[in-house]
Structure 1
Amino acid sequence: MPSPPFLVFTDLDGTLLDHEDYSHDPAEPALARLRAAGVPVILASSKTAGEIAPLRADLGLADHPAIVENGAGVLEPGAEAPEDRGRYGELRVLLDRLPASLRAAFRGFGDWDVPMIARRTGLPLAEAELAARRRFSEPGLWRGSEAQKAAFLGALAAQGVQAREGGRFLTLSFGGTKASRMAEIAARYGRPFTVALGDAPNDVEMLEAADLGFVIANPHRPSLPPLSGEAGGRIVRIDAAGPKGWNAAMERVIKGRGI
């Protein structure tokens, strides 16, 4: 395929989607210009393939791959969500083998019914049901001490399980990051200039690996610490939050890249 002018890799919740109502409307002007210019916008989220597939279609981005479950998997262009559960059952077994004192401090999606997932995420019930259909990762909430958390993460790491802090949840998986998937997907397109947008700790590697990264403000969580590349202007902070900030960042790129 011909190499596009550039690639956009974007987080969803709190970045392209509003933290409260999940709307992307304020970002639509820049999205429309990118679609018209043939610039692939690649979703990169902790969401499942079941959640991302309809959202990707609604955004007019179904011709491009999407990074799902924090980089633990990829949803291919045009694909629907697979029916199998991948390695999720294996992950839950390892989690339940932990000492009871550590296990009790972590409650994940597999410990909640769909109404509880809806309450914890703010999603409608139908979307919460899609969020529960995980294949690679387990998001949850940590309720123990920092010392317990270190022991919890260490015990899981010994079993090959990694953890990522996101905008809302601590997410467990067998590996794969947004940054590693970004590199794989960029290679498909001939490695053009890459732009990444995010707001949470699980976006940091992707932001630092991109040619240009934007930290979108999120008033609902502490600000990210200074990032590698920020002092030299390769990573830029946008004061506006959510899709409004996303639109401002992308309008800056569109102008700067001559689109």
Structure 2
Amino acid sequence: MTQPPFIVFTDLDGTLLDHASYSYDAALPALAALKDLGVPVILASSKTGPEIAVLRDELGLAACPAIVENGAGLLPAHAAPEVGGHAYRDLRRALDVLPPALRGSFRGFGDLGPHGVAENAGLPPEQAAMACRRSFSEPGIWSGSAADEAAFVAVLAKSGISARRGGRYLTLSHGGTKADRMVEVAAQYGAGRSVALGDAPNDAEMLASADIGIVIANPHGNALPDLAQIARGEIRRSTKFGPEGWNEMMLPLLSEWAL
């Protein structure tokens, strides 16, 4: 594999994709420029392998691996996603043995089903069905208090299950972050410089691990921590939202690094 000039790792919802419409059109100029330079764009999302595989093909990025389900898994380049497995079944079993007072406040995708996910996330039915085809993690809606959420997370932690809050959902998994998978992907390409873009707390490690971490403004999500103290490289912030912010930040960076 030829070593590229650098690698781009990007979150999807609220970052490369518009929060409401899920469109990436505003980022097309920057994506085209990256393609011309031979820069791999690694999609890194809470989305499942089936969801990301469709978008990856649509964007012409099938030759790039992708980080799926918040870093709980990796979809190899040109590979078809695998669905199901013991990791997801174990998550659902752990939920089913929780005290009813805690279990009742969490509705995972396995509880909502494709119809409920479509309604909640504003997805077309076919996309919602793909979002429910999970292998490594379980996103869900938390409807209880902050104190009960802390108790919920603490009980699951005793079973080796971690909980991460993204832009829209609380996601459960057996561990692994986008930053962990980022290291694996960088090794495949022979390391080199990296840029990471994201908008939510579950992107924090990935942003802090990059040479340049770019926080995309998101008025709908939870604020990210102050990354300046933990970042390996430089942290920048967009003024525009979603794909407009993506384009706003990437085009000037390409000009900088081209010099």
TM-score (norm 1): 0.96
Task: After TM superposition, list the pairs within 5 Å mapping 1:132-211 onto structure 2.
Answer: 132-211=132-211
Q: Structure 2: how far apart are the matches of 1:16 and 1:258?
A: 22
What's 1:42 paired with? Answer: 42
What's 1:7 paired with? Answer: 7
AA partner of residue 63 (structure 1): A
Displacement, 1:123? 0.7
Q: Structure 2: how far apart are the matches of 1:249 and 1:229?
A: 21
Q: Say which SS state the counterpart of residue 176 (structure 1) adopts.
A: coil
AA partner of residue 180 (structure 2): S
Unmatched runs of 5 consecutive residues or more in structure 1? none
Q: Structure 2: how far apart are the matches of 1:201 and 1:109?
A: 20
**CA contact under 8 A between 1:44 and 1:70: conserved in structure 2?**
yes
1:114-141 Cα deviation digits (max 9, x unpaired) = 1111011111000000000011100001
What's 1:88 paired with? Answer: 88
Q: Structure 1: how far apart are the matches of 2:196 and 2:131?
A: 24
Provide the aligned length of Structure 1 versus Structure 2: 259
CA spacing shift, 1:83–1:142, aligned 2, 3 Å: closer
What is the aligned-residue RMSD (CA, Å)?
Answer: 1.6
Q: Structure 2: how far apart are the matches of 1:99 and 1:144?
A: 14
Are 2:221 and 1:221 aligned? Answer: yes
**CA contact under 8 A between 2:142 and 2:170: conserved in structure 1?**
yes
Displacement, 1:220? 1.4
Q: Say which SS state the counterpart of residue 74 (structure 2) adopts.
A: strand
Q: Say which SS state the counterpart of residue 112 (structure 1) adopts.
A: helix
**Greater displacement, 186-195 / 229-238:** 229-238
**CA contact under 8 A between 2:27 and 2:246: conserved in structure 1?**
yes
Q: Structure 2: how far apart are the matches of 1:53 and 1:151?
A: 35
CA spacing shift, 1:235–1:101, aligned 2, 3 Å: same
AA partner of residue 27 (structure 1): A
**Greater displacement, 166-175 / 111-120:** 111-120
Q: Percent identity?
A: 58
What's 1:61 paired with? Answer: 61
AA partner of residue 75 (structure 2): L
CA spacing shift, 1:138–1:231, aligned 2, 3 Å: closer
Unmatched runs of 5 consecutive residues or more in structure 2? none
